Structure 1
Amino acid sequence: MNNRNRLVAGITLATAMATATTGVSAAETEWKMATPWGGGPWLERDAQTFADYVNQLTSGDIEIEVFPGGTLGGALRVTNTVKAGVADVSHNYINYDYGTDPTAALLAGHSSGLTPEEFMMWMYEGGGAELYEEFRREVFDVVAFPCSILGTELFLHSNKKVQTLEDFQGLRLRTSGAWAEIASRLGASTVVMAGSEIYNALDRGVIDAAEWGSPEMNKPTGFQDVAQYVVLPGVHQSGGFLECQVNQDAWDELDPEQQELMRLAGKLSVFDSWLASSYADLEAYQELVDGPNEIVQLDPSFIDAIYEETRKWEDEHAADNEWFARVLESQREFKDSMTTWQQYRLPIGAMGRE
């Protein structure tokens, strides 16, 4: 579906808000957007959706040109590119800055974290978006807010069958961020490598297994062609967010109405990405089920071990990182408030089916 035809209600709201900004300068602002993405839905759909919404909401006052990863700077150093002003704005994954502050993992999504739907509620009703923006300003000196949702990932594409904690011992696993630490503590031998290297590493046996993304995101990689087993569920990354960052000086040149329209563009883009990626995941997963791969479900005792080790990891970081503690407390309080959800909400896709 063409991005410009999405969310009629949102655009109606946009038109009304844009009318209120007619008193600002009519000069068109042209921004460059840096991304880590070489292609695929995150670049061609999600980043472009945000750029289109910004253009619509500001009645053409702000036009954003989207650039693929590596064009405006290092693909994994997008925050530095925006901070330095080489790019005015970005579409990015906050977990690439995990090495600077592990709080990034909580905001990007991590093991035993929030599902996509829970993440959206926490962000927009539970104070998460305000924490996100404050954290990015204080620690990284950029303005940032959510602008895409991440679906639940596949746990593994693997050449070894993994069901139990015992199976996980010594597994040569490609991963990154917080899960690299936690998986190592659970006995895996973790390897960090770029996404472009995973296929050949699996094919040649350099690694036994890899995690990357949701069924939709993994489909074009071909991992299923070189790894027999597809392991579920993705408890290592139950959901998450991508962000849009704005250079502080560029942000300060906007008036308050334009700044709010930027945040609104992010929120509308999150909703669009949730609809599109959730629907695309259905077809992509069914292809795995119907194909030659073996679908493997993790043993509940292994899932419990992951949750237990993750909580220990969380508590350790919260003890010596004030920002980590603030975000963790907010998320845990939100999760506690969700304990009655299943008492009155029907599970998606599970009722009324033969």
Structure 2
Amino acid sequence: MTLSPKATAVAVTLSASLFTGSVHAATEWNVSLWGQRRAFTEHVEKLAELVEQKTKGDFTLNLSYGGLSNNRENLDGISFGAFEMAQFCAGYHPDKNPSITVLELPFLGVDSLEKEIEVSMAVYNHPAVEKDLGRWNATLLMPSPLPQYNVVGVGDAPSSLEDFEGLRVRATGGIGAAMETIGAVPTSMSATEVRQSIDSGVISAASFAPHAHMSFGTVEAADWWTTNLNPGTVNCPVVVNNDALASLSDEHRDALMDSVDEALDYYVDYYNNQTMAKWGPTLDEKGIERVTFSEEELARFREQVAQPAAEAWIEEMKAKGLPAEELYDLTVETIAK
């Protein structure tokens, strides 16, 4: 039988590889995300692009938006190697990742995406946090920095903080705790469930960063939006499976790790200059009323919430065996720099 030139080349390559005792195979990682491509995932998209470029296609990240796992189960999937990389939000399951919930405490005073990255990475690199996530066979790779959350809602717009009394609001983590202090009823649910819950009347309002209000359709139903409530944000890391990371060649590991800062820089530029540029015009187009609270009201809100929430978090985490005061001090000191 006569082989074609292409088949002959393949055969020669395989023979040479077998002769030297090794057969090279490209590396592919599956990455579990959710929803759709949006500002929240642009750093992962950029990371995939950079890794593929640096390895000339020899290492690729296959991004899946909901096809691999439920977003609340991404950390579980990482733990047993169902996929190699995933994104999750700490507030979705605080018991699974208690150490990083310090980053979701209300009114921490983070005022930029750059500062959110800095404080997140400081916490991620703490030995107690590495150990905490190590229980899930996970290494924290990078955060998904988000601006301060604000609330959109349906019905009559609140004219004061007292008007939140009894309002059912989608709010997780520290934001939920903050909303509870002004009488709201926080409800925890994943982002993909929010629009349907508003339409069905399960909730009347939702706290999100601007990109998510647009991506998950809450602006399509909303009557009002708070411009300056700013109770806090959520922390949503990108993690990798420890075994998968350890199995990478030096070249591939360097390509991945050396691309993180560039991917985050791209994300910040995208969020600040593209996403936020669309936010104001979207509110105007939809006829959404802007609700702005007085500085006196906000100061009272912060005073009611910030310190009690921090003290409660410290006591709860100490009971779990975490160095809670150390993690909290690291967080606030990094922010204050």
Smaller-chain TM-score bracket: 0.7 to 0.9
Compute the displacement of 1:258 (Å). 4.0
Shift of 1:84: 0.6
- Superposition deviation, residue 296 in structure 1: 0.6
2:48 to 41, 48, 51: 51
1:1-354 aligned at under 5 Å gives the runs: 27-35=25-33, 37-41=34-38, 45-69=42-66, 71-107=67-103, 109-113=104-108, 114-115=110-111, 116-123=113-120, 127-131=122-126, 134-214=130-210, 216-238=211-233, 241-255=235-249, 258-279=252-273, 280-289=275-284, 291-308=286-303, 309-321=305-317, 322-337=322-337
Q: Distance in 2 between matches of 1:173 and 1:320?
A: 24
Asked if the contact 1:43/1:68 (under 8 Å) is kept, the reply is no
Change (3 A) 1:290 1:235: same
SS of the equivalent of 1:120 reads helix
Q: Which whole-Å CA distance do the structure 2 matches of 1:257 and 1:241 have between them?
A: 30
Mapped contact 1:163–1:296 kept (Cα < 8 A): yes
Structure 1 residue 28, shift from structure 2 partner: 1.5
Per the alignment, do residues 182 and 153 of structure 1 end up closer, same or farther by CA in structure 2, a change over 3 Å counting?
closer
Which piece of structure 1 moves more, 50-59 or 134-143? 134-143
CA distance in 2, matches of 1:76, 1:277: 24
Matching residue of 1:351: none
Aligned with 1:314: secondary structure?
helix
Q: Is contact 2:137-2:242 (8 Å) kept?
A: yes
Contact in 1 for aligned 2:35/2:192 (Cα 8 Å): no
Work out the CA distance in 1 between the residues paired with 2:223 and 2:268.
29
The one-character-per-residue Cα deviations of 1:193-250 (angstroms, maximum 9, x if unpaired) are 3333322333343322111222x33124332332211112251235x55322111111
TM-score (norm 1): 0.76
Q: Residue 166 of structure 2: SS of its match in structure 1? A: coil
TM-score, normalization by structure 2 = 0.80
Post-superposition CA distance 1:273-308 (Å, at most 9, x none): 111111221222233145411101123233224423
CA distances 1:76-131 after superposition (whole Å, capped 9, x unpaired) = 11011011111011133333331334433334x4421323222233356xx34423
Max radius of gyration: which structure?
A: 2
Structure 2 unaligned residues grouped into runs of 5+: 1-22
Q: 1:44 to 1:134 in 2, by over 3 A?
A: closer
Separation in structure 2 between the aligned mates of residue 82 and residue 57 of structure 1, nearest angstrom:
25
* RMSD after superposition: 2.8
Q: Which runs of 5+ in 1 are unaligned?
A: 1-24, 338-354
Asked if structure 2 preserves the Cα contact closer than 8 Å seen for 1:148 and 1:274, the reply is: no
CA distance in 2, matches of 1:236, 1:190: 13
